[in-house]
Structure 1
């Protein structure tokens, strides 16, 4: 073969690859435009969907109260917006919203395996729910890759988001109930063809929710089979999170979301005055305003309120001040063993969930004889931790399927 012919063939292959890549990019852009256009139309119907009668009829955890198809579903998939029954910290029946997404490929004979997704912080106000967004799928990190692998996805909003109710921000039990009940809700949709095997996957706040779900799954949902739990930059140790972050704007924002939720959940046990006593007068005045703002869409307003409060928001470190010390400990992961393999991804440049906090939690898991696959991503910050984890996550899911998940624990 002459050099000229070889060059010509390589040139044609390169051109072909570039054309294919260009077509794929064009399709992704076109699908994004379609989803946003259809999402605009759906926004008009959202208020009626999320408005429920009072009182809401009771039901079993995971039983669907209401559902509707989502026209802006990703290409090659079908999706529903759902409201389903769950339970709060006291065991009371509460409605929770979310979405379910399934690939349009044929389901296996025994049903699709489902990934229960726990989203990162969006806020604590009802309107901050991911399912209420113009693109309700935007925060499901790894969605396209998981759907391509044949997984269905259930993505809860958590209690208090979407459907009006008390916030569950950083409350491990109600968040994890909502995650686990989302699997039951997805199975309640006959055409979704969901089986009884599932995997947990969460980022940041969602990491806390997922770890609690992994600890509690066997008792709370024994009829389901949990195969593994995956987290990225998880809010595993709330005491460390508060101590590390309360001195900056992230900590002020997190605390402003947590204080109303913890007051509602623990007010009867500890007294509302004792819980709010951690705040300075300026902090007490600002908290209701910050708690009513959504993190992703009202960031500038949050900064305007929180910036002057850095160093002046609380009177002492919540992690060492009662009753916060007890409340944070009770809502930190690790108190109960996890009996399935765990994947952990952590960015090396994370300034919110700092690497040493995640490393300490992984050490605890290893001491509890959990099969942990721990991956560090140098230079990756908190916001990108889940996206950076996706390639390794997919490899780990393949290892789960084959029954040979690798452990990075020593020994």
Structure 2
């Protein structure tokens, strides 16, 4: 059930809704996703859900306000939930606020979404699919759960629901609910992914059991890889069957070097370095924006980090375009402490004890195919069982959708619904 904010707790300014052009973008994205996945969903059904989401938008701001004081609780403990009327056909959905931890183990609150089939549950309950979303930004208002359609970035959602999964989708810390910035901070994101699955188990009606699979795209690929690395020690109650990623952010230093020459690299760099300066700066000498960025870039990095990738792309480009070629003051792959921080947040330094599925588009100009290939090779050398799929003629945006047939075949090979 939804819990109102506590008496006397000040309400934050209303987060801007992604309406107008955002609706057009969301509809276009959803139609592309649905067609690409060969899902039998009618356009007007999608538009109807978006319309319901706009109505819901006027009522959900208080949901993200933490109770005051925040009660101490174990990671994954559900603080509150509320039904989402615009749930996709055949499902029930909830917005959630739950306890998780940051990279230092501190208790934080994180928001997200849970979606479950609305049919009778099988004996033994349903497996959980915990999803890591691609980059939408790093500010609170960029959280997927705040959007007019909070389901539009969960790639494969309809098929997962049809197959019988409970889908848990974290916003990541600092997005939606207030909390420390988590952009490309692997340990925090990984804990958020696992704790979203724990929270899903506590919602009456999901019938979620302890069987778990992880799925993420781009930034979300990095987050679920960290979740897989941490699962045995952080959430040992789960029976983790496998982790799947599409165009994952793996070697962060190499990805940054490959992308920094265009507007996407500058935007992502602003998100990442602002996050690292915020999270690591208080305890790490030299982790300040003026030690890594040129003076013009350092002056506007916070402004860029306040903008969302969806809905505020034009504003981002206006700021980022003049910085192309003039963004970095030093090479972050060699200059300390940045080189160490990028390495710390690069997944794949140890063997995974569960099977790994990796999809990569051969035309991806953001997460470069050669970097993903190096990650696959290194994981195999460590002993991880890897299934690698190259999706021909595919760039960064569509790789997760086009990987779904191979992904579900792989899930079936693990004894999971497909």
- 1:4-153 alignment runs, 5 A limit: 28-153=42-167
Larger Rg, first or second structure (1 or 2): 1
Deviations 1:307-346 (A, max 9, x none): 1100101112211211110000000011222100000000
The question of 1:180 aligning with 2:191 is answered no
Q: Which moved further from structure 2: 287-296 or 244-253?
A: 244-253
Task: Supply the distance in 2 between the matched residues of 1:49 and 1:394 (Cα, whole angstroms).
Answer: 34
CA gap 1:224/1:286 in 2 versus in 1, 3 angstroms: same
Task: Supply the distance in 2 between the matched residues of 1:164 and 1:290 (Cα, whole angstroms).
Answer: 18
Task: Supply the distance in 2 between the matched residues of 1:247 and 1:315 (Cα, whole angstroms).
Answer: 14
Alpha-carbon offset, residue 108 of structure 1: 2.0
Q: Secondary structure at the match of 2:415?
A: helix
The question of 1:306 aligning with 2:320 is answered yes
State whether residues 211 and 333 of structure 1, in contact with CA within 8 Å, keep that contact through their aligned partners in structure 2.
yes
Which ranges of 4 or more aligned residues in structure 1 deviate by more than 4 Å? 24-27, 272-275
State whether residues 259 and 276 of structure 1, in contact with CA within 8 Å, keep that contact through their aligned partners in structure 2.
no
Task: Supply the distance in 2 between the matched residues of 1:90 and 1:383 (Cα, whole angstroms).
Answer: 33
Q: Show the counterpart of 2:363.
A: 349
Task: Supply the distance in 2 between the matched residues of 1:25 and 1:142 (Cα, whole angstroms).
Answer: 9
Q: Show the counterpart of 2:224.
A: 210
CA gap 1:229/1:25 in 2 versus in 1, 3 angstroms: closer
Task: Supply the distance in 2 between the matched residues of 1:274 and 1:286 (Cα, whole angstroms).
Answer: 14
The question of 1:229 aligning with 2:243 is answered yes
TM-score, with normalisation over the residues of structure 1?
0.90
RMSD: 1.8
State whether residues 267 and 275 of structure 1, in contact with CA within 8 Å, keep that contact through their aligned partners in structure 2.
no
State whether residues 285 and 337 of structure 2, in contact with CA within 8 Å, keep that contact through their aligned partners in structure 1.
no
Identify unmatched segments of 5+ residues in structure 1. Answer: 1-20, 406-411
State whether residues 87 and 174 of structure 1, in contact with CA within 8 Å, keep that contact through their aligned partners in structure 2.
yes
Structure with more helix by fraction: 1
The question of 1:335 aligning with 2:349 is answered yes
Task: Supply the distance in 1 between the matched residues of 2:172 and 2:286 (Cα, whole angstroms).
Answer: 23
Alpha-carbon offset, residue 105 of structure 1: 2.4
CA gap 1:150/1:303 in 2 versus in 1, 3 angstroms: same
CA gap 1:387/1:67 in 2 versus in 1, 3 angstroms: same
The question of 1:194 aligning with 2:224 is answered no
Alpha-carbon offset, residue 274 of structure 1: 4.5
CA gap 1:321/1:332 in 2 versus in 1, 3 angstroms: same
Identify unmatched segments of 5+ residues in structure 2. Answer: 1-34
